[in-house]
């Protein structure tokens, strides 16, 4: 029997992440799938409870910590998967190791692109280390294309900009697919047979904006193994979360 369970989780607070992970581990002896899909997009500059830039902290560091805290339970279940939701915006992203928290200069779209690129670098490095350690866990990524959700309105509402909010609503009506269709790549990555570690799943339509799930490509920066390794080390240091089951 399938039982739904709601639990509070704030990916912008490492304390909340730790409390959530402890609650899951205390109540559940097995984990089959972890979907890292929390996201904030193009918002005014904010910081998390731990002082991280909000988009990097929520979209990447919170997920890095959550995955690490649940990792050994996932490894114990044959056929388990970790799926992290990225975005086509990763293609414009750069990891600025000299100003990772955007303390010198903040660009809302630059910070978003950086966080979505971080999602793919995390997936790549985790998949490689899982493989090298001899585990069968599947580590994949996905993106929804352009799905009509509240994500497009958050930044405008935080700014109090009715004009931008109206433009976002018009763009959603003209160019987006509905939220249910946008969720299909995530469901595919989490459940479909044949998904392999390192796969990136997105819509098959024009510019990966809409359509049905298929394997898609990523930018050259998303395949930079040195950047992925470096980001992993920085993420461990910032979150205090490590993955002892994996080879260095």
Number of other residues whose CB lies within 10 A of the CB of residue 217 = 10
Annotated catalytic residue 106: no
Pick the closest to residue 145 from 199, 200, 210 (CA basis): 210
Choose the catalytic residue: 106, 112, 188, 200.
Answer: 112
Angstrom distance (rounded) from CA 212 to CA 196: 18
User: Two tokens at 148?
Assistant: 């009509």
Active-site residue list: 112
């Amino acid at each position: 029997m399938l039982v739904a369970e709601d639990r509070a989780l704030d990916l912008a607070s490492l304390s909340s992440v730790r409390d959530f992970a402890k609650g899951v581990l205390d109540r559940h002896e097995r984990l089959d799938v972890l979907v890292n899909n929390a996201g904030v997009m193009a918002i005014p500059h904010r910081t998390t409870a731990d002082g991280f830039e909000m988009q990097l902290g929520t979209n990447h560091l919170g997920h890095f910590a959550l995955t690490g805290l649940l990792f050994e339970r996932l490894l114990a279940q044959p056929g388990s998967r970790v799926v992290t939701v990225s975005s086509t915006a990763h293609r414009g992203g750069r990891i600025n190791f000299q100003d990772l928290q955007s303390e010198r200069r903040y660009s809302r779209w630059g910070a978003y692109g950086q966080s979505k690129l971080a999602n793919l670098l995390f997936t790549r490095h985790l998949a490689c280390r899982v493989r090298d350690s001899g585990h069968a866990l599947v580590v994949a990524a996905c993106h929804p294309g352009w799905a009509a959700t509240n994500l497009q309105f958050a930044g405008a509402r935080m700014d109090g900009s009715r004009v931008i909010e109206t433009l976002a609503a018009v763009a959603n009506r003209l160019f987006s697919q509905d939220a249910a269709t946008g969720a299909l790549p995530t469901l595919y990555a989490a459940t479909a047979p044949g998904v392999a570690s390192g796969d990136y799943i997105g819509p098959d339509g024009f510019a990966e904006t809409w359509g049905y799930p298929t394997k898609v490509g990523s930018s050259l920066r998303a395949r930079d193994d040195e950047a992925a390794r470096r980001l992993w080390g920085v993420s461990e240091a910032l979150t205090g979360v490590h993955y002892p089951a994996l080879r260095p």
